[in-house]
Amino acid sequence: MLVKNIEQKIKINKAVSIASILFAVFVVIAGFVMAYKTVQDSRKSLYVIDNGVPILVKQTDELLNRPVEYQSQIELFHRLFFTLAPDDRYIKENVEKSLYLIDDSGKKEYTNLREKGFYNQIISGNSLVTVRNDSIKIDLPNRKFIYYGTQMINRKKSLIIRKLITEGNFEDMIRSPNNPHGVLLRNWRILDNSELSNKVKSNY
């Protein structure tokens, strides 16, 4: 009887020891997980100095901002490519900046417009060309976009308003000073650039 009691106590002690070890291992793992999450959260916290006053700000996951960056890149490209002044140097600088954001399809369109004399007409006619972004449709699964805008050609004696609809693809790339969003537009083409109105300016 005594031997049985001793064996039973040994089994109980063994079970308690194993349970204690497992519980300790669980506590250690849980502690590591919580510490890791705390470190990750702390890395997302930054202090920005504003006039000598530290302000706590939070970093966000860049993937959450990617759709916004895609739209911003598309809008930036069209603004640079289609904002023109009667100055050959200004036109070249703007177009060169825009070509960092797009593949060869942008350069082909630039060459096409130049061969048609579009830029020469802007310079000789002392015209100012601007573009207004109306909306941008993003298709994330297929990595495609459609840009809807309005192009305004302000000449000395008239104001021409054109519809501007383009489409293309986009892909992620390494960020750089010339491409801060890290987005490259591809297979871009103009779908519609038809004239909406041509208003003659008054002489006074």
What distance in Å separates the CA atoms of residue 82 and residue 77, rounded to the nearest whole number?
Answer: 8
pLDDT band at 16 (very low <50, low <70, confident <90, very high): confident
Task: Give the pLDDT confidence score for residue 112 in this predicted structure.
Answer: 93
Please tell me whether residues 130 and 40 are part of one structural domain: no
Examine the domain organization and report whether 85 and 22 are in the same domain.
no
Q: Which of 32, 58, 84 is the last residue of a domain?
A: 58
Which range, of 51-65, 75-89, 174-188, averages the lowest pLDDT?
51-65
Q: In the predicted model, is pLDDT for residue 11 greater than 90? A: no
C-alpha span between 112 and 24 (Å, rounded): 72
Same domain, 67 and 43: no
Among candidate residues 25, 42, 58, the one where a domain is terminated: 58
| Same domain as 191, residue 94 | yes
SS3 of residue 164 by DSSP: strand
Q: What's the start-to-end Cα distance of the chain, in Å? A: 121
**Cα 132 to chain centroid, rounded:** 19
Mean pLDDT of 120-145: 94
CATH of the domain at 104: 3.10.450.230
Per residue in 23-72, pLDDT (tens digit) is 788 888 887 878 777 666 555 555 555 555 555 555 554 556 888 999 99
Please indicate, yes or no, whether residues 23 and 82 belong to a single structural domain of this protein. no
Residues 170, 98 share a domain: yes
Q: Are 70 and 151 in a shared domain?
A: yes
| Digit-coded pLDDT (tens) for 128-139 | 999 999 999 999
Query: Domain end: 40, 58, 76, which one?
Result: 58
pLDDT at site 204:
47
Q: Which domain holds residue 30?
A: 1-58
Question: How many domains are there within the chain?
Answer: 2
pLDDT above 80: residue 7: no
Which residues have a Cβ under 8 Å from the Cβ of 69 and sit 6 or more positions away?
181, 182, 183
- Asked if residue 54 and residue 72 are part of one domain, the reply reads no
